[in-house]
């Protein structure tokens, strides 16, 4: 575990970002650089796995940098919530 579990509307490979995500990162002043993990977009925290109402119909990920108020999350790894 590298951080809190997040539910992101989408995730993208940090080495192959869309122009939209690159633009968002630029506005936030984020330099991806050598990051090799996924970048999560439009993320919200999942507070209690397995409790009703806290499901994720998009991509559940665990991210090492969630400091951008849910706009983006960096260093993400997919999480399987069905375990």
The answer to which of 28-42, 48-62, 63-77 has the lowest mean pLDDT is 48-62
Distances (CA, A) of 57 to 10, 19, 33, 43, 81: 11, 25, 30, 12, 10
| Whole-structure pTM value | 0.78
Residue pLDDT, tens place only, 2-44: 567 889 999 999 889 999 998 999 998 888 777 788 999 999 8
pLDDT computed for residue 37 by the predictor:
85
DSSP letters for 22-61: HHHHHHHT---TT--SEEEEEEEE--STTSTT---SSEEE
pLDDT computed for residue 36 by the predictor:
81
């Amino acid at each position: 575990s590298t951080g809190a579990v997040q539910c992101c509307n989408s995730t993208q490979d940090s080495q192959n970002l869309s122009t939209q995500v690159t633009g968002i990162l630029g506005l936030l002043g984020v330099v991806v650089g050598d990051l090799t993990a996924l970048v999560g977009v439009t993320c919200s925290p999942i507070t209690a796995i397995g409790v009703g109402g806290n499901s994720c119909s998009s991509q559940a990920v665990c991210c090492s940098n969630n400091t951008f108020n849910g706009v983006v999350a960096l260093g993400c790894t997919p999480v399987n919530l069905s375990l």
